[in-house]
Structure 1
């Protein structure tokens, strides 16, 4: 169910008078393939060149605004495409809330409480918005901001007035947050990382589209998605995930908006994911194919109430 912040409604009403003037639908005119990905692999220039080419092909003739960031621990391949572009986070901000909760428990030298577990599990597994709102309010903005800083994010700002789904973030910053769950220098301990990854591997079936498409057998997907339509910039379709197993770990973040439908955005994200998995796992059998049309709902993730104003701070 969508959360409905109770605080500062008066301030929102003042903003709405001007912000909603910009609420007319934005036409989808940009072509995602117009921009060139930047890939590097210190010891495998051929791989970097291939992935650059494959990402361009995956985005050929795809409209909308798309950002990609990825990192493979084995080959040290890193790629970015407009990785600093900012988007409304929708439900992927729940990974930040999870990490902040895990960090707080470790910092206080205690295990997670029963209340924290009761909210973390549905928030990640089924994208429960009521649980997310409870954790957001319990953690507080200062602690969430401190967690962002600890993760090394540079362009993520928390959503205003309790609208956590309007947190602004980038693909590069989402890759850093995923690194807190997989990286050797993580600010989270081994137990916390294991618990967080476990939850992200248990996302319910109808929410497992996105960067898991094209993954090979023998790997495990740890996933979180966001899918949110708004009057401006159309559908936000985001998918972030870490892939572990077989002696390797890699992370992928794909963020997008200006999608005319949820299905269109999912298709774009999955084209990117398939290109990455194929390049990093040559010759391996595929475990997860593209999501069937029948499993794409065209319903919002509910991370922002439908009556929330179009807030007037600009995209960058």
Structure 2
């Protein structure tokens, strides 16, 4: 019995020795392959809470979180009845007026006299230039030196001869109509009689102005900047109208139109369209006709501009 017990002990010691040797060999191999083998795995670390969970718990998101998109600005409420009464108070005699404004900063908009149509006089020159630029874009070219010279005179100086030349260059009323469809104008009608007798609405003129600042329209960024640069450098004698609504330091780009109409017994059409950029960015068009004089029409347009923008400010 003692001999058997001794053999059993020897077998046990031998087996233990072999086990230890095997464990040692495995450990050495593992070390060579990339590091020591852990004797016992510990508990897995807790996952960090997600940013969504942090927000739900009232905690700040982690620095690595993507910023949350800010909510779109909410258009302001406009007291339309009060504003309409103020505009009507500014109208003298038989004059008619319409105004449309779009605040591109927060989406607020207002239109008075939406159904009224007016002849454009010289404000259509912005539309003519937009049509010319669209055609050049389609042809894959930039404006020629001659076209640029005509465009500068047409917008900055309101030169009628330059407007005539570019009116024929775009294909007269057919070319303007085609361009206006692309620009999203819905209430503007060109005529073969004269570019200055194109009929339009204040609302459509704001659509045109918005096409000059929006990347969603057909005009390229280069074309839009070009038109606005000319409108921001109009002759100082023509810097009236919607510019009356600008605060000190605001950037203004505008084009005015004025025309005594024989069809109205010599009464005046006075129009002003433009962009005002300060704390807010506005596209605004004020159209009027049947004014007894140019001065009274300018005063009406400026009063209406100030009235509307003061309400929206």
Instruction: Give me the TM-score of the superposition, normalised by structure 1.
Output: 0.71
User: What residue in structure 2 maps to residue 134 of structure 1?
Assistant: 165
Displacement, 1:204? 0.5
2:288 and 2:297 in contact (8 A); partners too: yes
1:121-157, Cα deviation, whole Å (9 max, x unpaired)? 0000000000000000111032211111111112211
Residue 276 of structure 1: how far off its partner (Å): 2.9
Aligned to 2:310: 278
Out of 254, 275, 278, the residue aligned to residue 242 of structure 1 is: 275
Residue in structure 2 matched with residue 191 of structure 1 by the alignment: 222
TM-aligned CA distance change 1:214 to 1:179, over 3 Å: closer
Q: How does 1:2-21 map to 2 (within 5 A)?
A: none
Query: Which residue number corresponds to residue 144 of structure 2?
Result: 113
Structure-2 separation of matches of 1:219 and 1:84: 31
- Report the structure number with the largest CA radius of gyration: 2
Paired residues, what number? Answer: 236
Segments of 5+ residues of structure 1 without an aligned counterpart are: 1-40, 282-316
- Verify the 8 A CA contact 1:216 1:277 in the aligned structure 2: no
Runs of 4 or more consecutive aligned structure 1 residues displaced over 6 Å after TM superposition: none
Q: Deviations along 1:149-208, whole A, 9 cap, x unmatched?
A: 1111122111223x1111111111111111110123121111111111000000011101
Q: Specify whether residues 184 and 52 from structure 1 end up closer, same or farther in structure 2 by C-alpha distance, changes over 3 A only.
A: farther
Q: Which has the higher helix share?
A: 2
User: Aligned with 1:203: secondary structure?
Assistant: coil
User: Are the aligned partners of 2:104 and 2:282 in contact in 1 as well (CA < 8 Å)?
Assistant: yes
How many angstroms does 1:61 deviate by?
5.0
Q: Structure 1 81/174 Cα, relative in aligned 2: closer, same or farther at 3 Å?
A: same
Work out which structure has the larger RCO, using CA pairs closer than 8 Å and 6 or more positions apart in sequence.
Answer: 1
Alpha carbon RMSD of aligned pairs, Å?
A: 1.8
> What SS is found at the alignment partner of 1:258?
strand
Give 2:82's aligned residue: 53
Q: Distance in 1 between matches of 2:85 and 2:144?
A: 46
Name the TM-score, length of structure 2 as normaliser: 0.71
1:173 and 1:79 mapped to 2: Cα distance? 13
